[in-house]
Amino acid sequence: MTAAKPVFSKETFSFLQDLKRNNKKVWMEANRERYQAALVRPFRKLLEATSQPILQIDERFDVCGRKNFSRINRDIRFAKDKTPYRAQMYLKFSVRGRDERETGELYIGLSAETVTVGFRIYTGAKRKDSALAMVAEPRVANNPQWVAGQKRRLGKKYESYWYAMEKGEWRKREGWPTGAEDWKRIRGWIVRRKMKPSAAVRPDFPREVGKALQEVYPLLKFTSLGE
């Protein structure tokens, strides 16, 4: 049996580091093929390697490829930071909710310094119409011990933080949103496991992140999805 080959290489992280240092259009155009070889094609291989395991978790996940990857181009029209590119990339898995409502995501992310895998959910522009407001908040109210249970289950390996709106701006809150008041004002919630770049260049990386996505899937189901 042929040994599995790593999906990513050290060149993936070297490219992200160089992009971080040279975040300009002229540099990216000169390194377009390097971008494809070091980042785009490996991420597509990761999607191929994780599609079947993710569908075994929930067959409703979208794995077609059109919406699974984050965009490296930044929308700088209204941003203070005018750098044109993101020095990180994500593979994302989501399920469309009822009435086409956006749900949370399971994700794998790479930056120059770190690898993350986990769950995230945001309200979007209209909180009252979001899954966090219409699905998660009522469920937490009916089962107030649920978050504490997830903290006990995941807290040793995963970090949690969330966002609240204060004075017109999102403010980051460390820890788990456990209280009822937290859930009335929550705008985003992230539970993630951090790994070193060396983890991504091992042949067993797809299997490792597949296990992690299975561990955090109950967060997505509880906050976003019907039975």
pTM above 0.75, yes or no: yes
SS (H, E, C) 125-178: CCHHHCHHHHHHHHHHHHCCCHHHHHHHHHCCCCEEEEEEEECCEEEEEECCCC
CATH superfamily assigned to domain 10-224: Protein of unknown function DUF1054 (3.30.930.20)
Given a cut of 70, the residues of the chain with pLDDT beneath it are 1-3, 78-79, 97-101, 227
Residues 32-46: pLDDT tens digits? 999 999 999 999 999
- The CA distances from residue 9 to 49, 69, 161, 199, 210, in Å, are 16, 19, 30, 10, 19
Instruction: Collapse the DSSP code of 106 into the 3-class scheme (helix H, G, I; strand E, B; otherwise coil) and give the result.
Output: strand
Residues 145-193: pLDDT tens digits? 999 999 999 999 999 999 998 877 889 999 999 888 899 889 999 999 9
- For the chain, the domains span 10-224
